Amino acid sequence: MSAPPVKEHPTDLRWIGQSMKRVEDPRLLTGRGKYIDDLTAPHVAHAAVLRSPHAHARIRKIDASKARALPGVVRVITGAEAAEQTGPLPCFANPPVAQRCIAVDRVRHVGEAVAAVVAESRYIAEDAVDLIEVEYDPLPVVVNPEDALTSSGDAVLHPERGPNNIAHQRTLTFGGYDEDLRSADVIVRRRVRWPRSGAQPMETVGAIASYDEGTGKITIHANTSMYNYVGWLVAASLQIPAHKLNIIPTIAGGSFGSKIFTHKVLVLAATLARACGRPVKYVEDRLDNMTSCDNHGSDRIYELELGLQRDGTMLAFGMKVIDDYGAYLQFGVGHHGNAAAQLTGPYRIKSARIELTAVFTNKCQQGAYRGFGSEVNNFALERIVDAAADELGISPVEIRRKNFIQPEQFPYKIPTGNVYDSGNYQAVLDKALEMADYHGWRLRQDEARAQGRYIGIGLASCQERSVFSSTEFWFWNHEPGFALTSSPESVNIKVDPTGKAFVTLYSPFWGNSPETMATQIVAEQLTIDPADIEITYADTDHGSMGTGPGGSRYTVMIAGAIAGAATEIKRKLFKIAAHFLEASERDLELREGRVAVRGTDRGMTIPEIALQAYYFRLSLPDDCNSGLDARFTYDHPYTTQPNADRTDLGVFYPIMGHMCHIPIVEVDIETGQVKYLKYVAVHDCGTVVNPMTLAGHVRGGTVQGIGSTMYEHFYYGEQGQLVTANFADYLIPTLKEAPPNIEVGHVVTPSPFTEYGIKGGGEGGRMGVPPALASAIEDALKPFGVKIDTLPITPMKIRDMIRAAQQGVH
């Protein structure tokens, strides 16, 4: 597939671009949201899970007799018993790594499920969990990812995959990397450490599963996503045919990637329900979630190099990266594929290299968290760009300006093969500098330093790739070719006999605004009042392809799907109206809910046409059947095949957003506290559907990014214990850690390839903060020569670095 045709975007928009209040909110505001734990089922039983206290051990013996004898206990199920009916969990790695909903024979991280209890109440289930006696034979524990490279013997987590703990290793080189480095005047090198943090939405993961012996069907209610894309993989794990499983979505109390599939919980709940012959409810508590969730993020050690000319022109960017994936490989090494979409950032870098080593350690497996690995690459690239500016004596602004891809160069192919559809990076930078009063603050910074105050001005200019397609999972495979998926999204629009629009989505609400987005876009397409539009979510029984939110894709994809379905509806509206009005379809127009003959007052409203369409077939044109609805599946607008040797990964993430973040902070050198004097975030997400909700994503993502930068760390001790397994130790920013005013600006460079020119903007905030805030703190502490290459940079660490510098210790 070559580049798709450039779309003409309408400019006279009525609903798109409005800060419409959210359709989702009234029920959420009044406590009528119905999250997973708010649901129940007749005769439901409740599950609790016994989790491993060991990071790595063989399970020698499980004695559940006391638990089984406890009144109110329905069943106790061990891994071996679960495995009699349920196979390994879905896995997106190649070769797959066997992971089970309850461990069999061996546990590989603290918190892995060892047994599950089903009881008449959660209280009894938890009592019974404490009565299960397990004998373990501890095995050597691997915590440090660099140690994992040389693991042997019993320290190898998956001996069937090879003799060590290297999960995947591959070097990809794009362009003339070695030549470019040889021709560079300077090569800047840095070691960067990105620690493990996670999405940690306020709601954990849960499911209510039931098994109907009459029909042989399993039904699962859950706060999951991707059920209409890969839900059948849950059936495969349960070893039932796909049509014997129905997954019904509930709304989610936040996801940020963490509920992208949630297959551990789905498979566990269904396994228990089938074994008990009763509905079973399992909702993780916070400890379950923190030790065994699907949202531990990247955990990387980088050795970076950036080759430049003396004048600051960037030539080549390369990295050796070790990523600590934990005990399993749920989504393969797709996170590094994701990063390759924007490896060289907004810069005209000619060549690049990734030497990837993914390792297994005795930690919870990685999952998905807002950025999916690209936020880490942003941090690495921007840190080394700052280091280069420092070494070459160029300002952080100038080195970026000098290397930006220019507006006339789009579509622009970066060394990895991905194409950036459009952008205007200079405009974003200029707007951010102006909003921040960057130059004014430089003067104030000097004045403050003279008074012994430490003000720092940070800057990051980052990419936000949007509109995920699944290619990134597969091109790391060693097999030369593979079939390409487009990761489509569907919608069904029914205009009923009274003219109301019923819109069916095939992906869930997980804290974003799918109902509001769909309402605004349907209102735009059909000129129906938003109050006359109803949004519902389809289960898998009634589903169409829906990859769901993730990778900042949903608004773009649902806009494409709605435009497709609405076009079919309009075609029929026009055909019927032309027939009744005795006019040519070419002379008709749809305005304000009415199809009319252009330049006259003759027309029919949508309800009038719809009534005819449903009930009066014999009055319709001959080639019209009854009804007025349309289902449309929208394929990803632009993906191409990677080449066999992976010197070109093809186009896989071309809808490219961009942002510039400028935090202005003051560091208290006695306490290490960081105070925000100003925070500016300018984003270019193409055409904006709802400025209010986009700003919400930017601000919320920014505060999450502050958490990743300064406070949050899934910290595993030497024996593989997760030391920060609760909210008192794993520090999510409170209101006190958030900037009082995140000033959001937009530059609009519409995508030439998407409906209306929309680009995704769901992850942007978190993808820009870490390098921006690190540079601000580093800038504030310039007099001490402090360098920030390792996160999280807590106030205590800041203070320690200042102390070390003051004492001349490096």
Partner 1 sequence: MEQVQVSVTVNGIRYARAVEPRRLLSDFIRHDLGLTGTHVGCEQGVCGMCTVLIDGQTARTCLTFAVQADGVEITTVEALGTPAKMHPLQRAFWEKHGLQCGYCTPAMLLTAVELLNSNPNPTRDEICEAMSAILCRCTGYQTIVDAVESAAGAMKGEAR
Q: How far is the CB of 758 from partner 1 (least distance, A)?
A: 19
Q: Where are the alpha helices (DSSP H) in 323-424?
A: 334-340, 374-392, 396-403
Contact residue for partner 1 among 1, 10, 14, 25 (CB under 8 A): 25
**Binding residues for partner 1 restricted to 708-767, rule: CB under 8 A:** 726-728, 732, 734-736, 738-742, 765
Q: How far is the CB of 285 from partner 1 (least distance, A)?
A: 6
Q: Contact region for partner 1 (CB under 8 A) — 31-39, 145-153, 300-308, 586-594? A: 31-39
Contact residue for partner 1 among 99, 151, 200, 418 (CB under 8 A): 200
Look at the block and give the residue holding tokens 């000098």.
402
For residue 588, what are the contacts with CB-CB under 8 A and spacing of at least 6? 574, 577, 578, 581, 595, 596, 597, 598
Contact residue for partner 1 among 112, 203, 489, 755 (CB under 8 A): 203
**Alpha carbons 567 and 578: distance in angstroms, whole number:** 16
For residue 348, what are the contacts with CB-CB under 8 A and spacing of at least 6? 314, 403, 404, 405, 409
Which is nearer to partner 1, 32 or 61 (by Cβ)? 32
Q: How far is the CB of 531 from partner 1 (least distance, A)?
A: 13
26 touches partner 1 by CB under 8 A: yes
452 touches partner 1 by CB under 8 A: no
Contact residue for partner 1 among 145, 201, 345, 792 (CB under 8 A): 201
Contact residue for partner 1 among 14, 27, 191, 803 (CB under 8 A): 27
Contact residue for partner 1 among 1, 4, 34, 615 (CB under 8 A): 34
Which is nearer to partner 1, 231 or 739 (by Cβ)? 739
696 touches partner 1 by CB under 8 A: yes
Beta strand ranges found along 554-685 (DSSP E): 588-591, 594-597, 603-605, 629-634, 655-667, 674-684
Distances, alpha carbon 350 to alpha carbons 184, 347, 416, 641, in Å: 12, 9, 10, 21
For residue 102, what are the contacts with CB-CB under 8 A and spacing of at least 6? 49, 77, 78, 79, 82, 83, 113, 114, 115, 116, 268, 271
Binding string, 319-348, against partner 1, x = CB under 8 A?
Answer: ------------------------------
Query: Strand, coil or helix: what is 432?
Result: helix
Q: How far is the CB of 332 from partner 1 (least distance, A)?
A: 27
Which is nearer to partner 1, 96 or 254 (by Cβ)? 254
**Binding residues for partner 1 restricted to 226-255, rule: CB under 8 A:** 251-255
Check residue 364 and report its DSSP letter.
P
155 token code pair: 């320290």
Which is nearer to partner 1, 36 or 97 (by Cβ)? 36
Query: Could you tell me if 491 and 554 are in contact, meaning their C-beta atoms sit under 8 angstroms apart?
Result: no
Return the sign of the alpha-carbon dihedral for residues 258, 263, 264, 268.
Answer: positive
Closest CA to 279 of 547, 43, 60: 43
Which is nearer to partner 1, 415 or 739 (by Cβ)? 739
435 touches partner 1 by CB under 8 A: no
**249 alpha carbon, distance to own chain's centre:** 18
Query: Could you tell me if 309 and 185 are in contact, meaning their C-beta atoms sit under 8 angstroms apart?
Result: yes
Binding residues for partner 1, total number by CB under 8 A: 59
User: What backbone phi and psi angles, to 5 degrees, belong to 559?
Assistant: -65, -40
Q: How far is the CB of 739 from partner 1 (least distance, A)?
A: 8
372 token code pair: 């999916």
448 touches partner 1 by CB under 8 A: no
Q: Which residues pair with 661 in a beta bridge?
A: 460, 681
Contact residue for partner 1 among 513, 540, 544, 639 (CB under 8 A): 513
469 token code pair: 């397609």
Which is nearer to partner 1, 19 or 150 (by Cβ)? 19
Amino acid 460 reads: A
Contact residue for partner 1 among 597, 606, 682, 703 (CB under 8 A): 703
Residues near partner 1 (CB under 8 A)? 21-22, 24-35, 37-38, 40, 122-123, 199-203, 251-256, 285-286, 510-513, 692-693, 695-696, 699-704, 726-728, 732, 734-736, 738-742, 765
